Chains A and B, each alone.
Chain A
Amino acid sequence: MSNFVQANLPYLLAGISVGGQYALIAIGYTMVYGILRLINFAHGDVFMVAGLVMVYTTTAMPMYLSIPLVIVATVVLGFLIERVAYKPLRSAPRMSVMISAIGVSYLLQNCALYFTGGLAQVYPTIPWLSNSVTIGSATTKVVTIVTPILTVVLVFALVLFIQKTKIGMAMRAVSKDFETSQLMGIKINSVISMTFVIGCFLAAIGSLLYFTNYPSVIPTSGSMPGLKAFVAAVFGGIGSIPGAVIGAFVIGICENIIKGLGSSWTIFSDAFTFVLLIVVLLVKPTGIFGEKATDKV
């Protein structure tokens, strides 16, 4: 038994850590969907841009300044994307907004390609987080342990925020009924902006953790984590925050267990994620925590 645990602990640790990072991205997808019924395809690329901003800012300033700056820059980027690419399409069909999101995604990727010259950028080493630590049989980075704890704390804070504050209440109202809440005097634009701000804030934190573990940023770095986080959000029931977090952990852990199953299975680790998406859509289209769809989609 102890042999089994010793051999498999590294997979589990990797799974929990990557799951936490997916969770932080997935919340951004799920919140935007809950409020706008929009799948924000650019979210994964915002995550990548946060990584690049970190790469460039650390060359010019010390780490304790660049980390807050990365978070602020990412939040501003998310806010601007919403104002420029989504807000003018508020009354357009939902499909137009989605296409606009895909456009923003490619725009960000190509801008990144231009700025990096297409080369992989080495992510700076964040002190302490990058230190090696030994747990039982596994040697890993401190960030692996920090990620799940930080994720849970942030999610807890977010849930409190949504349940207890006035703007949180407004967000809940808007996600229930867009038009009615508008009629009730809720400032819809500020609620939507707030959603993007929170989503991007979490994506920035996620990118700090993710790239500390996998320290190379390329223009398409955001697409795979973004897709997986999206699957996690669907799996947990898109629109539900706890659902997205649980979904992300399930996907992260399963993916790494499959990689550990032996050489004939490892190649299916990505396929698993997407098979899961199809199965969930077939069996329980609203996801494990999803509300019953009364209309829409």
Chain B
Amino acid sequence: MTMPIQDQALSLTVNDVPVGPIPVPRGTSMQEFLHEWLGLTGARMGCGQGICNACTVMVEEDGKVPREMRTCITGAHWFEGRRVRTVEGHACEEADGSLTLSPVQTAFVEAFAFQCGYCTPGFVTAATVLVERLKAAPVPRDAVEAVVTEALDHHICRCTGYVRYHTAVRDLVLATPGLVTA
């Protein structure tokens, strides 16, 4: 009754770096692939059921707003040929070796948005997707709080009670030109 483990080659782009082809067993989740094959552990295992969203990454497509994907319930091979950005790929390395954080990362850091930080990668991903979405389709200023909650509500945080994540994103959206309409 045992099926041998069957490998299937996988090629994709992760944080602008081409990866593969790598033989990966069929049925391997993207989360497992990131953790065990690539050593990228930022997309964290929370529930394995797509409930907590600690594991999300962005799928980037030309001309489109990036999508947020749950890696714990999505097979690695679904990402074949696609471009993925994990939390490790949001900051830029400068010539002097220092890191320049993304606007969302900066907002979270300055707002003391997280404590343990286990859920932070998912919130970085969701908030970045929201910002990109608002660049394409701004919302009225008085709708921002509702839009932020809608964008982040599927992410579970156990330490800080969500307030600082949400207010950080709200303030970033309000302060970033082009994301809100009058």
Q: Do A and B come from one complex?
A: no
Which B residues form the contact surface with A (CB < 8 A)? none
